[in-house]
Amino acid sequence: MSTGAAGAKSGFAAYPRLLRVPGAAALGFWGMVGRFPIAMRSVGCLLLVAAVSGSLGGAGAVAAAMLVAQGVASPVLGRWADRVSQRRVLLSAGAAHVVALTGLLVAIVGRAPILVQVVAAVATGCASVSFTSFMRARWAAFVEPGLVRTAYALESVLDETIFLVGPLLVTVLVTGVHPAAGLIVCAVLTATGSVAVALHGRSEPAAKRPEAAPRKAIAVTGVRVLVVAYAGMGFLLGAVDVTMIGFAREHGNPALAGVFLSLTAVGSLVAGAVFGAVDWTLTPRRLLALTTAVLTAGALPLAFAGSSPVMAGLAVVAGVAIAPGLIAGSTLLEALAPKGSLSEGFSWLSSAGALGIALGTGVGGRLADTGGFAAAAVAAVGGGLVALVLAVAGQSALEPEVVAEQ
């Protein structure tokens, strides 16, 4: 089975073709605006709490509470969007998020007890719509099947761009304008993006009436396999980040960590653009297994980096399969999930990946403290192997035709 229609067999020309679809460029732009805070909120929160209280431990607790709450709430918001419409969820959750984020800002700047700050952070996370998930569901409903994979590739490229620029932008705002400026800009971007995407009626996925509600996406065996595989991939990514930070610290130049992480994002961005332009003849489930294998193999050499130039090159290699793996997973999810549950399904993937990253960062950090950066790299490979085993052993469950017959 080909992953693209005949009309998409045009290499990089598929991207201009996608953006020439009426409304596509606007959807891509406003979707990017709405999810820019994904790469800014936790960093902005960390920097603000640290600037006000001087406590990195407290800052980490507040940021972690927000991220975990978002991971738990995302599938609920996705399911709600499938039932009542994305538009209503974007507008209501967007408004609630701005209110909650304002409360978090007041709590931090007002030096409220750490428990109050954590509660405000949880409220902020619970009202944070997974824009990445909503956008992928919109593309699936908006463009012809032959352009869906290209749309997912575009989303992955935009994601990598956001994670390259977002942390830099919020750091400049916090250090050059005001410690609270980063989170204030996040609130503005979230509100603007939520309203603009909600009003983009052409891409609105059809909501299902409660009496005709589809089966939950997570009830599909293949979706569950994919979710756990995403968690493994997220664990790998979190541990890889720690590996590069640990390497830079051990070599006496912590500033290089940012360079290594940026190079990883560059490798992912370029590979994602190429991956989306190729008319693959492999099925999405085969592509998932292939990209997961490359991702796992790319993490292993990091443990043996002996110099900064070598680590820089390996950082690019480690990033090569990130975006392709996410594109393959998104394409597969679109085929596996009940058509009326795409927002929920993509939210599960987003949450699994985010929670995996958090766990990989935590485990990798502890291992790096005791065994050096190489130990964190080995942990990253372990996460990749979990994802790879699931992608290979779960091939039958990941076959869309099998799910369609259920």
What are 174-185's pLDDT values in tens digits? Answer: 888 888 998 999
Q: Are residues 237 and 185 in the same domain?
A: no
Residue 8 pLDDT: 41
Q: What is the mean pLDDT of the chain?
A: 84
Tell me: do 239 and 379 sit in the same domain: yes
Domain membership of residue 144 (yes or no) is yes
**Domain end call among 167, 197, 213:** 213
Task: Quote the percentage of the chain above a pLDDT of 70.
Answer: 93
Write out pLDDT tens, residues 103-127.
999 999 998 898 999 999 999 989 9
2 domain-assigned: no
Tell me, yes or no, whether 200 and 236 share the same domain: no
Least confident of 73-82, 123-132, 394-403: 394-403
| pLDDT at residue 6, rounded to an integer | 40
Whether pLDDT at 4 is above 50: no
Residue 119, domain member (yes or no): yes
Tell me, yes or no, whether 93 and 207 share the same domain: yes
Last residue of a domain, one of 213, 233, 259: 213
Evaluate whether 36 touches 166 at the Cβ level (below 8 Å): yes
pLDDT of residue 214: 57
Give the CATH number of the domain where residue 380 resides.
1.20.1250.20
Tokens, residue 381: 């490979």
pLDDT tens by residue, 48-80: 887 888 765 677 678 778 878 887 888 888 888
In the predicted structure, residue 383 carries a pLDDT above the cut 90: yes
User: Is 184 found in the same domain as 101?
Assistant: yes
226 and 188 within one domain: no
At 366 the pLDDT is: 82
Given a cut of 70, whether residue 151 has pLDDT beyond it is yes
Residues 303 and 313 placed together within one structural domain of the fold: yes
Instruction: Please state the rounded mean pLDDT for residues 71-92.
Output: 85
Is residue 36 assigned to a domain?
yes
Task: Specify whether 202 is located in the same domain as 220.
Answer: no
Q: Are 39 and 25 in contact (CB under 8 A)?
A: no
pLDDT at site 99: 94
Q: Are residues 207 and 218 in the same domain?
A: no
Letter for the amino acid at 72?
Answer: V
Q: What is the pLDDT of residue 384?
A: 95
Cα–Cα distance for residue pair 345/158, rounded to 1 Å: 20
Longest dimension (CA), the chain: 62
Q: Single out the residue in 198, 213, 228 at which a domain terminates.
A: 213
pLDDT of residue 186: 92
Per-residue pLDDT at 44 exceeds 90: no
In this prediction, residues 17-27 reach a mean pLDDT of: 89
| Model pLDDT, residue 211 | 52
Q: Do 266 and 327 belong to one domain?
A: yes
CB atoms within 10 A of CB 84: 15
Shared domain check, 196 and 308: no
Task: Mention every residue, 6+ apart, whose C-beta is less than 8 A from residue 355.
Answer: 68, 71, 231, 234
Lowest mean pLDDT among 25-39, 149-163, 383-397: 149-163
pLDDT band at 7 (very low <50, low <70, confident <90, very high): very low
User: What local confidence, expressed as pLDDT, does residue 97 receive?
Assistant: 92
Q: Is the pLDDT of residue 393 over 60?
A: yes
402: pLDDT confidence band, cut at 50, 70 and 90? very low
Inform me whether the pLDDT recorded for 352 exceeds 50.
yes
In a domain, 390, yes or no: yes
Does residue 9 fall inside a structural domain?
no
Domain match, 251 and 398 both: yes
Q: Which of 361 and 375 is assigned the larger pLDDT?
A: 375
> At residue 189, does pLDDT exceed 70?
yes
What's the 3-state SS for the chain? CCCCCHHHCCHHHHHHHHHCCCCHHHHHHHHHHHHHHHHCHHHHHHHHHHHHHCCHHHHHHHHHHHHHHHHHHHHHHHHHHHHHCHHHHHHHHHHHHHHHHHHHHHHHHCCCCHHHHHHHHHHHHHCCCCHHHHHHHHHHHHCCHHHHHHHHHHHHHHHHHHHHHHHHHHHHHHHHCCCCHHHHHHHHHHHHHHHHHHCCHHHCCCCCCHHHCCCCHHHCHHHHHHHHHHHHHHHHHHHHHHHHHHHHHHCCCCCHHHHHHHHHHHHHHHHHHHHHHCCCCCCHHHHHHHHHHHHHHHHHHHHHCCCHHHHHHHHHHHHCCHHHHHHHHHHHHHHHCCHHHHHHHHHHHHHHHHHHHHHHHHHHHHHHHHHCHHHHHHHHHHHHHHHHHHHHHCCCCCCHHHHHCC
pTM of the model: 0.74
Res 381: pLDDT: 96
Lowest average pLDDT, out of 96-110, 165-179, 375-389, goes to: 165-179
Percent of the chain with pLDDT over 90: 29
- In the chain, how many domains are there? 2
- The per-residue pLDDT for 344 is 81
Q: How confident is the model at residue 91 (pLDDT cuts 50, 70, 90)?
A: very high
> Given pLDDT bands bounded at 50, 70 and 90, which one contains residue 2?
very low
C-alpha 322/C-alpha 264 separation (Å) is 9
User: pLDDT tens, 269-305?
Assistant: 888 888 877 778 888 889 999 999 999 999 999 999 9
Averaged pLDDT for residues 324-340:
83
Which residue type occupies 55? S
- In this structure, what token pair is assigned to residue 101? 């984020």
**Around Cβ 16, how many Cβ atoms within 10 Å?**
9
Residue 311 makes CB contacts below 8 A (sequence gap 6+) with 244, 247, 256, 260, 302, 305
Range of the domain at 380: 214-406
- Domain assignment of residue 180, yes or no: yes
Task: State the Cα–Cα distance between residues 244 and 303, nearest whole angstrom.
Answer: 10
- Per-residue confidence (pLDDT) for residue 283, from 0 to 100: 86
pLDDT of residue 361: 79
C-alpha 272/C-alpha 172 separation (Å) is: 28
